[in-house]
Amino acid sequence: MLHKADYSAPFFVAAALILFFIGGLLTTVVPPIVDKSWARPFDNSDPAKGVTGKLQPYTEQQLKGRAVYVREGCWYCHTQQTRTLLADTKRSGWRGVDAPISTPDEFVYDSPHLFGTKRTGPDLSRVGGKYDEQWHRAHFRNPRDLVPGSIMPPYPWIAGNEEEFQALVAYLQTLGRAKNWRPDNDYER
Amino acid sequence: MQSESTISAGEIPVSEAARYNESLHEDTTAKLFLVSSITYFFIVGIVALMIAAKFVWPELLGTVQYLTYGRLRPLHVNGMLFGWLLAADMGLMYYVVPRLCGVKLWSEKLGVATAALWNFIILGAVVSTIMGWNQGWEYAELPMFLDVLVVIAWVMFGANIFMTVANRKYTQMYVTIWYCLGTILWTAFVYLTGNFAALFATGVNQANLNWMYVHNAVGLIFTPVGLAIAYYFIPKVSNSPLHSHKLSMIGFWSLAFVYVWTGAHHMIHGPISQWLQTIAIVFSVMLLVPVWAVVYNFFATMRGQWDQMRDNVPLKFLMSGVVFYLLTCFQGPMHSLRSVNAIVSKTDWIPGHAHMAVLGAFSFFAIAGCYYVVPRIFRRKLYSDSLANWSFWLFLIGGVGFFVTLWLGGFWQGWQWNNPAIPFIDTVIALQPVWIVRFFSGVLMFGGIATFAYNILATMVGSGTESTKMAAATA
């Protein structure tokens, strides 16, 4: 049947595009229509239905911090997804409490999305509330001062730029906090 | 299938190209694309070494904002993908397609303008990645004005190739032309999805569009154009007719249908609908069909011709590329299985896999094409055959060292991650020896790039050899 495509360029083009668009449309346009949770912000006040909480839109300062995170390419080494793996929920956990897995409704306000593909450093999907501002300042100045063996680059130009630093920390503290799974202001030392 | 029966007009490049006068072809566009892509290969190779070194010596250049890992990695990825590989592939298409059609390139002027615009885009990409003007999407980091220029350049490239094909003298289109036309069509839509449609989505929806683009940037851009090159040069360089037309058809049309479904396999176990993950897994495994059809066809073409591997450098690159293609496309479907994915996903295994595809398979095809084409279009002998052989062994040993080290290291890393009793930082420290070996493998690979680039550029300027007029048909 497709032998005709050897000789006829218009037939070839039509066949190549039709075959491509079957999968193309079914995997890009259709899924968000079928799965509504991709676009509905997380909001649950009923403990019977699982972990409670509400996803808030980013503030202007948090967005500024997010822009720094994007500009510096933090997302090349840090993923933002607690996967459906036991080890992920434990690694993202806090004082023996397993972190809830990441769900689509937690990321509705994210653009660009920052799920990431590579974990050269630890996952950050539940890092909000884990370290205080002082820790982050020392860590950005030189990560190896706090974490010997770390290969993260130092970012003195962020630690020394009060506006950018505050914004970035404000953004980091939001990560994973839509789900009410841990108390506020209980930082690791 | 009898190999003789596959020789027909317009189908097999071996006998056809000799029939008419090579001077029909001007090849200015091909020359411009090849010389600039090889230059970027060398420059971005230095960047590659820098980022590999940063894993071992994290303080290296660490206080210069513009040279941190987060700036240089997108420069490395975009520079290698679009500055070197895609530009070299386009240059080779400007050479191959007119010859398979038996006519001149439709417009050499348009081609030269495309080459100029492409170089402007790459220089813009260098500046914007270093400055941190990053859109935050993998493979789609470049700012919007460059994205628009890429679309324009692609339309210019596509128009030139399509018009050349429309004016062809041979009615039957050889496999290489299918893959080239497929690349042009699919790339257009894949690129628009990843760089423009993604703007209208957020969160998981955006990620899904992004992965559709990222995956198909490899699957529907570099794979088909790489196979276009392999389908032309393997029969050409070995002077053997292609084994089977039917297998070519199975390989091409199954690729056209299967590849685009697999984007969501980048989010397996992640926050994306389970049923979409399952669809992506099913189609990822089906990818074995187009891959094995193509690879069997190439191996069968070489039946009885393997002795040529002894001293035919382009053939060495091509057939090692085929082996790497087979391996990388066996890994891919296996990674998508949930159980395997739980170990290797997000680890250093993945760059090992990605480099085998983009360097081991598709760059090897492009390098072979350059070694074959450059002496012919510049009408000079290759500057040094032994240097070419050196470049092959540097690439091969460096490449295998790089891939294997990262697989072993990544697999080990994945096992450690799955034991939450091991603190994360210990899994970083454990990988130091892996990153040291990776760096030195990278040095060998860079040696390959340097010898390749020097050999080709020296051939172009004709240094060292008397510029013997070389008739392409004598090969």
CATH number of the domain at A118, please.
1.10.760.10
A77 and A128 housed in the same domain:
yes
Sign of the dihedral defined by the CA atoms of residues B293, B298, B300, B301, in that order: positive
CA dist B473 and B223 (Å) reads: 29
**Which residues of chain A are within 8 Å of residue B70 when distances are taken between CB atoms?**
71-74, 76-77, 153
Is A182 contained in some domain?
A: no
Q: Quick check: B74 and A151 CB within 8 A?
A: no
For residue A15, give every residue at least 6 positions away whose Cβ sits within 8 Å of its Cβ, in sequence order, or none: A2, A5, B253, B256
CA dihedral over B96, B98, B102, B104, signed as positive or negative: negative
Q: Which of B452, B411, B457, B415 is nearest to B434 (CA)?
A: B411
Query: Are residues A118 and A64 part of one domain?
Result: yes
Q: Is A107 part of a structural domain of the chain?
A: yes
Total domain count for chain A? Answer: 2
Residue in B227, B242, B464 with CA at minimum distance from that of residue B368: B227
Q: Which two tokens stand for residue B195?
A: 């760089």
Residues A83 and A109 in one domain: yes
Mean per-residue pLDDT, B437-463: 95
Verify that A119 and A152 share a domain, yes or no: yes
* Residue B472 pLDDT > 60: no
ipTM value greater than 0.90: yes
B21 pLDDT higher than 70: no
B398 pLDDT more than 70: yes
Q: How confident is the model at residue B13 (pLDDT cuts 50, 70, 90)?
A: very low
Task: Enumerate the β-bridge partners of residue A44.
Answer: A53
Please write the tens of the pLDDT for every residue from B431-446: 999 999 999 999 999 9
Residues of the domain holding A67: 43-172
Q: Compute how many other C-beta atoms are within 10 angstroms of the C-beta atom of residue A117.
A: 17
Residue A53 backbone phi and psi in degrees, to 5: 140, 175
Distance CA B469, CA B462 (A): 11
Both A65 and A149 in one domain: the answer is yes
Distance of residue B100 Cα from the nearest chain A Cα, in angstroms: 13
Q: Are residues A72 and A149 in the same domain?
A: yes
Angle, helices A9-28 vs B203-216, to 10°: value is 150
Q: Is A142 helix (H, G, I), strand (E, B) or coil?
A: coil
Same domain, A27 and A116: no
Domain ranges of chain B: 10-170
List chain A residues with CB under 8 Å of B260: 20, 23-24, 27
Contact B353, B411 (CB under 8 A): no
Q: Sorting pLDDT into bands at 50, 70 and 90, what band is B469?
A: very low
pLDDT at residue B22 is higher than 80: no
**Token digits of residue A138:** 């020392």
* Cβ distance of B346 and A79 shorter than 8 Å: yes
A105 belongs to a structural domain: yes
Chain B's closest residue to A7, CA to CA, is B172
Residues A153 and A119: beta-carbon distance below 8 Å: no
Residues of A in contact with B420 (CB under 8 A): 86-87, 90-91
Most distant pair of Cα atoms in chain A: their distance: 71
Asked if the Cβ–Cβ distance from A72 to B68 is below 8 Å, we say yes
Mean pLDDT over each residue of chain B, to the nearest integer: 92
Based on the domain organization, do A95 and A158 belong to the same domain? yes
Q: What are phi and psi of A94, to 5 degrees?
A: -140, 120
For residue A185, give how far its alpha carbon lies from the nearest alpha carbon of chain B (Å): 23
Instruction: Please list, in sequence order, all residues whose beta carbon lies within 8 angstroms of the beta carbon of residue A137, skipping any fewer than 6 positions away.
Output: A159, A165
Q: How many CB pairs under 8 A join A and B?
A: 219
* Rounded distance between C-alpha atoms, residue B379 and residue B377, angstroms: 5
Residues A162 and A90 in one domain: yes
Task: Identify the pLDDT of residue B4.
Answer: 34
Contact assessment for residue B183 and residue B225, using Cβ atoms and an 8 Å cutoff:
yes
pLDDT digits (tens, 9 = 90+) for B277-321: 999 999 999 999 999 999 999 999 999 999 999 999 999 999 999
The CA distance from B91 to B268, in Å, is 37
Residue-wise pLDDT for B321-348, tens only, equals: 999 999 999 999 999 999 999 999 999 9
Same domain, A62 and A142: yes
> Which residues in chain A (153-182) have CB-CB distances under 8 A to chain B?
153-157
Chain A residues with CB under 8 Å of B197 CB are 28
User: Residue A61 is which amino acid?
Assistant: Q
Examine residue A28 and state whether it is found in any structural domain, yes or no.
yes
pLDDT digits (tens, 9 = 90+) for B207-250: 999 999 999 998 999 999 999 999 999 999 999 999 999 999 99
Question: Are residues A86 and A14 part of one domain?
Answer: no
Q: Is the per-residue pLDDT at B18 higher than 60?
A: no
- Which residues in chain A land under pLDDT 50? none
Q: What pLDDT, in 10s, does the model give residues B24-79?
A: 899 999 999 999 999 999 999 999 999 999 999 998 888 899 999 999 999 999 99
Q: What pLDDT is recorded for position B228?
A: 98
Same domain, A155 and A109: yes
Mutate to test the interface with A, among B60, B204, B225, B227 (most CBs of A within 10 A): B204
Residue B471 has pLDDT above 80, yes or no: no
Domain assignment present for A181: no
Chain A environment of B342 (Cβ under 8 Å): 85
Q: Is the pLDDT of residue B10 over 70?
A: no
